[in-house]
Structure 1
Amino acid sequence: MYRVLIADDEPSVVKSLNISIDWGKLGLDVAVCVSSGQEVLAFVKEEKIDIAILDIRMPGMNGLELCEYLKKQDENLQVIFISGYAEFSYAQKAINYGALGYCLKPLEYDQLTRLLLKACKQLDKENGFFTAAELLDAIDSGKSQEVSRILSQMGFQEEVCFAAVTAGESRIELRKEEGIVVELGRGQYGYILHEPLSESKIRQYLDMGRNTSIGYKKHTVAIAELKRALADCSAYAYQFFVEADHRVCCGTDNQHSERLLMQVTKNVEQNRWGEVCDQLALIEEKYCRFFNIRSATRLCNIIHTGSLFREETNDYYIYEQKQLVSEYGSFSEMLKRLQKEIQEAGEMQEGSMTFSNTAFMKLMRYIGENYRSEISLTSAGDALHMSPNYVSQLFKKETGTTFVHYITQLRMEEAMKLLTTTKRAVTEIAAEAGFHDYFYFLKTFKKITGKTPSQYREEN
C-alpha cells in the first residue's frame, strides 16, 4: 500500500477526509494526520510517505512552501492541494511546484478520489509496476519494444515465447518462472510461456469445473508477433463451437470453406434467400468439417449484412468469437437458426408489424437489468417472448438507434465510471461492464474516446 500524509489545521476537514474516502479500496494507508508545516517536516524526517494532501494555508510553513521542500527531497512524491481559496494564483503556483492537483473546499470526494487514483498510477510507473492492461495495450498497438520492456519488468526476458489461450471459468495457475497469465475477457485467459503447457497441466485444467477448452501454438513466436499468436490461440480455443469434442486445439484450416462462403455471398447479394437456406442446410449436412470459428463468424455476418436484414445489421453483427458462441452455442445450431431468421425476416417484410409501448418498456427494463451480461437479441426475445427481429425493429422505432449501439453505450458509461472511481484492474472493469473480449473493448474504447482505458483513467 502507498502511504498518505494529510496536513490541515481544520479538525473537521481531517475527520471528513478519513471517513469519506475508502482508503483501503484504493490501496492506500493514511500514515498520519497533522495540522502544521512543522509537524509535516518532523514526520517525513523519520518516515517515508508516497502521497501528501496539503492545505494551502497552515500555521508556520504553508502548503506551497512545504510542496517545494518535499519535492526537492523526493521528486516522486505525489502532492494534492486542498484550499478554501479559489484564487488562480494559488492553483498556478501549485502546478509550478509539481503538484498533481488542486481541490477546493468544501471538498468533492469524487474529484479527490480521481486525483488519488492518478497519484497511484504515477507511483506505479515510477516503481516500474505494469498492469495486465498496459501489457495488452502495448500488444494491441504493435509496439514490440514496449511489450518487451513490460515483459522484462514482469520477469520475462526472452525475445520469443510460447502462447496459449484457455476458455472457461478458471485459469491455469503458473509459477513466475513458468510465464505470465493475462485476462483477455470474462472466462478467457492468455498465457505467455517460457515452455509449452505440459500435458498434465492441460489435463488438470480440463478436469476442473466448467473449463471448456485450450488453444495453443506448438512452436515459439516472436514477441513482435504476440498479438497475432494470441488471436490464433483464441480461435483454436473456440474450435469446439464447430467440433464439440475438440477441446484441445493447436491449429485449424478454413481453406475449404472459401468456395462455400463465396457461393453464399453471391446469393445474398442477389437476394436469392431460398438458395441461401438450401446452402445452409447443405453445409450442416455435409460440410461442417470445412469450417472453423473464424469462417463460421464470416458466414454469420455475410447473412446478416444482406438486404433482408438491412435495418438490423448492427444488431446481428458478430464482433467477437465468444459472442458467436454465446449467441448460438454450436455451429450446427447456428446454421438452423440462420435459416429460421431468414424465414422470419422475409415474413416481416411481407406483412405489417404492430409495436406496443408496453413491450418497449419491458424491453428497456430487461436491458437495464442485464446489459452487463451476455445479452443479445435472442436472449432478450426469449425472455420477453418476442422474436429477435421484432426486438430489433421495436427498439429502432422507439429510440432511433440500434439495440447493440445502445448496449455498447451503457457498457462504455459503466466502464468510464469504474475507471475514474475505483482502482480495479482495467481488464476486470471491462468484464464487469459487459465486454467479454478485452481487445474488442480496447478497440471500442479508443474509437469512442480517442484514448486507451489506462490513458483515460490517468487523465480523468
Structure 2
Amino acid sequence: MFQLLIVDDESAVVDSLSDTLPWQTVGVTSVFKAYSGYEALEILKTNTIDILITDIHMPGMSGLELLAKAHRSWKKIKCILLSGHAEFDYARQAIRHNTYEYLLKPVSDEMILGKVKALAELLQKEREELLTYQLVAQAFEESLPKLRGELLNELLQGLELAPRRLQEKMELLKVNMRLGAEFALMLVRMEGKLSELDLYNLSLMEYAVVNMAGEIFEDGFRLWPCKDIHGFLVFLVTLKEGKIEEAADSENADQQLQQLASQLQLSVNHYLKGTVSVLIGKWGRFPQDVPKLYQDSLYSLRRRIGSQSGLLIYVSEALEQQPVHSLLRLYEPPLLVHLLESASWTLAEEKLQSVFQELRAKWADSSEHLVEVFFSIYASFSSLAHKNGRELAGMIGPGLSDVAGLAACRSLKALEEWTFQAFRLMKQSMENETKNDREHTVEKIKQYIRRHLTEDVSLQAVADYMYMHPVHISRIYKLETGENLSDYILRLKMEMAAVMLADRSVKNYEIALKLGYQNPNYFNKVFKKYYSLTPQEYRSKLDEDG
C-alpha cells in the first residue's frame, strides 16, 4: 500500500481530489495535501511519499521546480504533472525530471485513478526487482561477521533454539558447523596496554587478533569468534574435515591447540606489541554443551589466571569441577528486564516460569538461590518502574514492594506466589497507563478540533498543536477510536453544516466558507456524499418535516 501527495495552489482542487476519490481501491492508504511547493517539500521531509501529483503553475515554486527538488532527494517517487497548458516545452521539461505522466486539465476522476493505479503496480514491481534484492544481500553479507558473533554470544549466554531453527540460522549466516559436532572454547583476554586503549583502537586490535587467530589455526581448525559480555574474545574451535580421524587416532588435538594458542600469544606480542592470556576449555558437543563449558571456562579463568597476565591455561577434566552451580534460566537471553522494558509480557511470564522450573528441579531447598532469584526479579521490576517515572510501591503496592525480612524468600512457594502476583500487578499498571495516555491524547485532539472546526484543522495543524508527528497522530487516533481522524473531522463539519442549514438567514455559500470550503460547489459535493442530499435538498426536507 502506498502514500500519495497532491499539490496545487487551488485548495478546492486538492480537497476534491483528496477527499472524494476512492484511493484505497487503487492501492493508496494515505493522502497528503499541500497548497504550495514549499509545503510539499516539508511533507516530503517527514513522510514516505510514493506518488506525487502536482500542478505546474503555482506561486513561489512551480511544479517543475518541485519535481526537480523531489527527484534529487527522493529518487523513487513517481510523479504525475497536471497543467492547463499544452505547450510541448512543459512536457519536455517534465520528462527530463522523470515525470511518469503529463495530464492536461480538466482531467476526469477515472483518468486520475487509472494513472495512480498503474503507478502503484509499477512501484510494487520495482520493490520486487532483483536490484533491490542484491543491495540488501550485499548489506547482509557485510554484516555477517557481526551477526555470527551475536548468535554465538547468545548461545554462550544459554539461548536455546530448536535444532532445525538453529541449523537454519547457521546456514543463513554461513557458519560451517553441524549439530552434534565436537568443539572446544578458547578465551582470549586483552591485557596490559591493549586493555587501556580507547574503544576505536581496541576494536582495531581485537579485529587484528581475530585475523591472526584465523591464519594461525587455519590448517587444522575452524574458528567461530565473538566478543562476549565481559570483553573477552571467545573462539568456538572445531576440527576441519580430514583432520577429525587424524586427531582421534593420535589424540593430539589438545596438543595442537595449545601449540597454536602459544603461537597466537607470541604473534600478538611481536606484531601488536601487546599481551594476551589464553584459556582453552574442555571438549563438548554442539550446541548443548556450549553454555556449561563457557561458564566452566570463566570459572577457570577467574581461578587460574585471575589478575595475572600473559598466561596460557588448558582446563583439565578433574580440576575444574564446581561444587555449586549457578542458575541458568535467570541469566540466559533475553533477560527479564529487557522483556519488561519492551512490554513483551507473554515472553516475560514464560521466562519467569522457566526460572521456577529450574529452581524446583535443582535448588528448591537452597536459600541462597531463592534470594538470588528474588533480588534479580525485584531489581528488574524496580528498573521498569523507575524508567517509567514511577515508584515500585505505586505499581505493586507497599506490601509486595517491602523487602524487610525478605518474607518472599522463606520458601520456593512463597517466592513464586510473590513473583507472579507482583508481575500481574505491574502488567496491569503499565497497560492502564498506556491506555490512559492514549485516551488523554485523543481527548486533547478532539478538543482542539472542536474549538477550531471553522479554522485550520488539517492533520498538520493538529500535529503541530500536539507536538507530535502527523503519522503518529493518525495511528494513535485510529488505534483508540477505531476511525480515521479525517472521518471524525468530516462528521463534525457535516453535523455543524446540518445545524446551520436550519437557519434560513444563512446562505449555502456562507456555510461553506465558514466551514473552510473555499469552493461552494465542492462543499455541495461533500455534503451530498455524506447525507445523500444536496444542501438545498436537505433544507427542503427540513421544511417538509416541519
TM-score > 0.5, shorter chain as reference = no
Higher relative contact order (Cα pairs below 8 Å, separated by 6+ residues): 1
TM-score in terms of structure 2 length? 0.26
Which protein has the larger Cα radius of gyration, Structure 1 or Structure 2? Answer: 2
